[in-house]
Amino acid sequence: MVRYTTAGESHGRAILSIIEGVPAGLNLQADDIDAELARRQLGYGRGGRMQIERDEVNIISGVRHCRTLGSPIGLMIRNRDWVNWREAMSPGPGMAEQVVRPRPGHADLAGHYKYGHTDLRNVLERASARDTAARVAAGAVAMILLRELGIWIVGCVRSVGSVQSSGFPDDWLDSTPEEMHDYWRSREREHPLRCPDEAAEKRMIDLIDTCRAEGDTLGGVVEVVAAGAPPGLGSYAQWSDRLDGRLARALMSIPGIKAVEIGDGISGAAARGSQVHDPIVPGEAGSSPHRTSNNAGGLEGGVSNGCEIRMRAGMKPIATLGKPLPSIDLSTGESLPAHHERADVCAVPAAGVVAEAVVALELAAAVTERFGGDRLDHLLRGLRGWEEELR
């Protein structure tokens, strides 16, 4: 079963991920991972660091001659800014100015209590969202696997601050999941806010500019859709195996994400059952039944039901403010403005890319758990056999 772990500090030498359980025989190249890393670095509202970094992956293990071996895949992304932090972040002896004024909304004060650090750099270096690059790299491997299986993941920005967007157009279901994926991927090169609604996008950009000028920050909502996932992933038999819970946990674990919605979970809570549940109608002769709507977001009883899996995640405004909020100096107890570190004004588009990655990892885990994960040919055979049974 696919699983992964990450390591690394924001201004350390590099960040790392190790992804296990990827079947042998998958075509995997560094360029494909780099393309996902570049998407994470795009997005209107990002801070100065994105100009410095330009992430590139080094595949350290688990791949030979562009094919996965079935062994753990080690990925390393160097932090280009490390040259400026050698002394401050040295694993050996070194000196650096201490960070002592915790930022409200960041991990600084909670991390001080947890690990006893008085220099809050020891907290923020790992709590920083830099780690999401390692998750996007691992997620890229999962996405490449899912594409081989006909499962395509797309995402968009549904709101920034109070500006709402209409989301993906309804007629997109006329195209195949692959066509839809390719279209949205190419569109985001010209629309780095990743919002499908151009009028809303313009208002979002204006709002980000206003907040930047005022030293303030913004959050928003992202949507992720997984198309082509077979029915039967996850399980209701044990609470921890429910796919809705696993996806929600993965999304909620992204720094700054404070709410997760599956399908129309929030608006559905205020509606009647007859308006919410998706009627089941017979399929064409001999084929499996259909749904006339998908308010459930493709998950019932914690199991995929064959419809698109639809999720949303709400991100709070960035905690590092240009005009810092009141805080204290931990070493003296004196009231002072919070620490300021170079930061994004709005990271919602980037959080959407991270959300796609963690969803891909969770679905790759569920697919390999269901159909086996040693060899790609066996996995494909298992999946095709199941699709045949459903016809």
Ligand X SMILES: Cc1cc2nc3c(=O)[nH]c(=O)nc-3n(C[C@H](O)[C@H](O)[C@H](O)COP(=O)(O)O)c2cc1C
Residues that bind ligand X (CB under 6 A): 47, 106-107, 127-129, 132, 254-256, 316, 318-320, 343-344, 347, 350-351, 354
Considering beta carbons, is residue 341 or 369 the nearer one to ligand X? Answer: 341
Angle between helices 376-390 and 348-371 (to 10 degrees): 80
Considering beta carbons, is residue 72 or 322 the nearer one to ligand X? Answer: 322
Considering beta carbons, is residue 243 or 351 the nearer one to ligand X? Answer: 351
DSSP, res 309 = E
Q: Give the number of other Cβ atoms within 10 Å of residue 277's Cβ.
A: 15
Least distance in angstroms from the C-beta of 152 to ligand X:
22
Least distance in angstroms from the C-beta of 111 to ligand X:
9
Considering beta carbons, is residue 180 or 343 the nearer one to ligand X? Answer: 343
Considering beta carbons, is residue 112 or 370 the nearer one to ligand X? Answer: 112
Tell me how far apart the alpha carbons of residues 11 and 55 are, in angstroms, rounded to a whole number: 13
| Start-end of H helices in the chain | 30-41, 49-53, 108-115, 121-127, 131-148, 177-190, 198-213, 243-252, 265-268, 273-276, 348-371, 376-390
Closest CA to 386 of 193, 230, 202, 190: 230
Closest CA to 75 of 357, 313, 356: 357
Instruction: Say if CB 23 and CB 10 are below 8 A apart.
Output: no
DSSP, res 342 = S
Least distance in angstroms from the C-beta of 349 to ligand X:
9
Considering beta carbons, is residue 248 or 254 the nearer one to ligand X? Answer: 254
> What token pair was written down for 284?
């064409």
Least distance in angstroms from the C-beta of 344 to ligand X:
4
